[in-house]
Structure 1
Amino acid sequence: MSKKLQNATNLYLRGIRDGAVDEVLNNYMGKTYRQHSTGVSDGKEGFKAFFTDFFKRNPERVIQVVRAFEDGEYVFMHVYQNLNHGGAKWITTDIFHADEEGRIIEHWDVIDAFYQDDEIFGSFEIKDEELTESNKSVVRTYLTEVMQNHKLETFNQYVADEMKEHDLSISNYASWIKEHYVNYDFVFRVMGAGNYVVAYSKVAIDHKDYALFDIFRLDQGKIVEHWMNKEIMPAYAELTNSGKFQEKIMETNNYLQILRDVKDVAFATVDANGIPHVRIIDIMIVENEKIYFCTSRGKDFHQQLLHNNHVAITGMNKNYQMVRVSGQAQRLENNAYWIDRIFEENPSMNDVYPGKSRYILDAFVIEEGEGEFFDLSVSPIDRYSFSLNKKPITLKGFAISDVCIGCGNVCVTAHNNV
């Protein structure tokens, strides 16, 4: 057993089952720990606080790791939990991210109720390790073609006729896909070991959003067995960490500060005829998750803002980090105060508008909106969503991740991100 797999196992068995939290924090976790589990706060402190209370509520804990494997820096686990002699029974599916020393630095999971043994228990043997990448490619293509592009006629190319289904809500997998609205919004990660492949995705089922794990067993290039574990996506306002999928998160002000540092960014508006216009505008102030800018009352830009105050902003710095924001721009009432404040923060404005000529300008603020951050300097590209002042985030229909196989079909779903 590798160091990372042993540390992930110890986190569960020594930490959660046996209650040895300090042992976990000091020996099995890295210097930092990013948490994505619903209801558990970020960091080592969040882990300890949650499970200190968890142990009080659940003094009797039976935990069994049923399936586990590693793929690169990541470990997957399929776990059964029996709390307080059957008072609560759970199935958890977990991904752990390990550092170079094999210590756990990040964790994602989905937790669902356990009802009967067939949902999780059974044999587990990793075979055909030389086919790991080939089997991952089969699953990636299946998820793209069938579950995202909805080419249901290709289902039998990837799934065996006698596939064994373990989810109690599904009597026939092929029929279930046809009879229900099932849409894989994005596939966050695909992992594999030989004949087993796991995908973690955001999925809409009958118009409810879930964080969902698919566990596939393949034989001769086709899916022959399937387990599923899903959890309702928590509301954004209820999050105690960075959410079910994001690998990293910065405070909104940090994202907006990138625009402030770039300063000259592209602003898009539409005119009274619905024609789009883009121009370069200076970001003057960023504070309290708000963006402040100004423009002259005689410009078309000013008129467009008054006619339709929806704006979109894009800027990229020299490190190939890009931020885009969409929201509504409001003209500020105490205009003289804000113009003076803008000139204090941006003294070069005095050269353009000397003396009282500055008051030909109107100050605007974007205080509610949503945005995205892209780091184009890494591969795969890092991409994270954020909001201004708790505006709900609209998750997009496609995410660039390690599931890309270069098939050319992403154009079907990627249009949601343009």
Structure 2
Amino acid sequence: MPSNKDIVLEFTHSGLEKWDAAVVNRVMKPDVIQHNPQATGGRQGLLEMFKVLPEPMQYQVWRVLEDGDLVVVHGTVKLIGQTFAVFDVYRLENRQIAEHWDSLQPLPSAPNPSGRSMLDGPTTISNLDQTEANKALIQRFYQQIFVGGHFDQIGAYFDGNTYLQHNPGVADGLSSLLNASAAAAKAGKGLKVDTVSRILGEGNFVYVRSGGEFGGQRVVFSDLYRIQNGKIAEHWDVIQPVPAESPNLNGML
């Protein structure tokens, strides 16, 4: 019997990449709830989108997490000539996709200051027995640091300055993160998180979907953390501005 991961990967590779309507009809509920701000609701909306795109998308999967009825896919998608880093989140009911959220950010042509891309790094899931502890760690991290604003306590969540960073504009090291955050705040464009909608995890990886402000605009944050020995060791993210209008009323969170 295929797992929820298997179902989502079949949808990704056969439904999205090959435009296989039979697969879409089989693995997606007709009334699927769509949170993509550019998409209409329902399965038929996706099938109609296939008809207007000039070519199928190319989706490279890097990481897949499964947490109960939710699956997170981290990868790149090439669409209409542009490549994006992407997080897709799916909720399944009775072996069908019932709800979908995503976040996209254009993939830069150059690596970040530490030579990392938005996708490279470890992909192997380990320490499955630590899933709940790692999710709880990240929940405390967000509530205390980002929502609570107690940045003086941030060091408790890291192993010294050790921190591998995949954000395209920030270098490795906790000190680099703090310096970048301080510079953005001084310019009046600091990062603010006011809503945490999902914390999902599998083993040593934890995904967070949240909303707030960055660069002076309303955004949705998708963040992926790798936990090692009870500390945050590595970070990937995608930041997407929230558009003023959307063909659906479901919101991005």
Q: TM-score range by the shorter chain?
A: 0.7 to 0.9
| Percentage of identical aligned residues | 23
Tell me what 1:129 maps to: 128
What amino acid is aligned across from residue 177 of structure 1 in structure 2? S
Is 1:170 aligned to residue 170 of structure 2?
A: yes
Question: How far has the Cα of 1:21 moved from its partner?
Answer: 2.5
Tell me what 1:225 maps to: 234
Tell me what 1:112 maps to: 105
What amino acid is aligned across from residue 89 of structure 2 in structure 1? I
Name stretches of at least 5 consecutive residues in structure 2 with no aligned partner: 112-116, 185-189
Cα distance in 2 between the residues matched to 1:131 and 1:37: 31
Is residue 89–residue 101 contact of structure 2 (8 Å, CA) maintained in 1? yes
Tell me what 1:257 maps to: none
Describe the superposition over 1:28-84 as per-residue Cα deviations: whole angstroms up to 9, x where unpaired: 113431101121100111111122212xx235x432111001001100000212346
Q: 2:69 aligns with which of 66, 73, 97?
A: 73
Q: 1:183 aligns with which of 175, 183, 192?
A: 192
Is residue 242–residue 252 contact of structure 2 (8 Å, CA) maintained in 1? no
What amino acid is aligned across from residue 140 of structure 1 in structure 2? Q
Is residue 68–residue 78 contact of structure 1 (8 Å, CA) maintained in 2? yes
Tell me what 1:241 maps to: 248
Question: How far has the Cα of 1:142 moved from its partner?
Answer: 0.6
Is residue 41–residue 50 contact of structure 1 (8 Å, CA) maintained in 2? no
Is residue 63–residue 82 contact of structure 1 (8 Å, CA) maintained in 2? yes
Describe the superposition over 1:203-261 as per-residue Cα deviations: whole angstroms up to 9, x where unpaired: 211321111101000001111000010110011xx211124345xxxxxxxxxxxxxxx
Cα distance in 1 between the residues matched to 2:216 and 2:250: 20
- Which has the greater radius of gyration? 1
Question: Per the alignment, in what secondary structure is the counterpart of residue 4 of structure 2?
Answer: helix
- Pairwise CA RMSD of aligned residues? 1.7
Is 1:96 aligned to residue 90 of structure 2?
A: yes
Cα distance in 2 between the residues matched to 1:148 and 1:204: 12
Question: Per the alignment, in what secondary structure is the counterpart of residue 40 of structure 2?
Answer: coil
Q: How many residues align?
A: 237
Name stretches of at least 5 consecutive residues in structure 1 with no aligned partner: 247-418
Is residue 65–residue 71 contact of structure 2 (8 Å, CA) maintained in 1? yes
Tell me what 2:49 maps to: 50
Cα distance in 2 between the residues matched to 1:212 and 1:75: 17
Is residue 81–residue 90 contact of structure 1 (8 Å, CA) maintained in 2? yes
Describe the superposition over 1:103-151 as per-residue Cα deviations: whole angstroms up to 9, x where unpaired: 1100000011112572113330111111111110110111111111111
Tell me what 2:157 maps to: 158
Is residue 86–residue 102 contact of structure 2 (8 Å, CA) maintained in 1? yes
Question: Per the alignment, in what secondary structure is the counterpart of residue 162 of structure 1?
Answer: coil
Tell me what 1:378 maps to: none
Question: How far has the Cα of 1:179 moved from its partner?
Answer: 2.5
Cα distance in 2 between the residues matched to 1:43 and 1:115: 32
TM-score w.r.t. the length of structure 1 is 0.54
Could you list the structure 1 runs, at least 4 aligned residues long, displaced by more than 6 angstroms after superposition: none
Tell me what 1:205 maps to: 214
Which structure has more RCO (C-alpha within 8 Å, separation ≥ 6)?
2
Please give the residue correspondences for 1:8-407 in structure 2 after superposition, counting only pairs within 5 Å. Answer: 8-25=8-25, 27-54=26-53, 57-59=54-56, 61-83=57-79, 87-99=81-93, 101-116=94-109, 118-160=117-159, 161-171=161-171, 172-180=176-184, 181-235=190-244, 238-245=245-252
Cα distance in 2 between the residues matched to 1:152 and 1:120: 27
What amino acid is aligned across from residue 239 of structure 1 in structure 2? S
Is residue 90–residue 114 contact of structure 1 (8 Å, CA) maintained in 2? yes
Structure 1 residues 33 and 187, CA gap change in structure 2 (3 angstroms): same
What amino acid is aligned across from residue 142 of structure 2 in structure 1? L
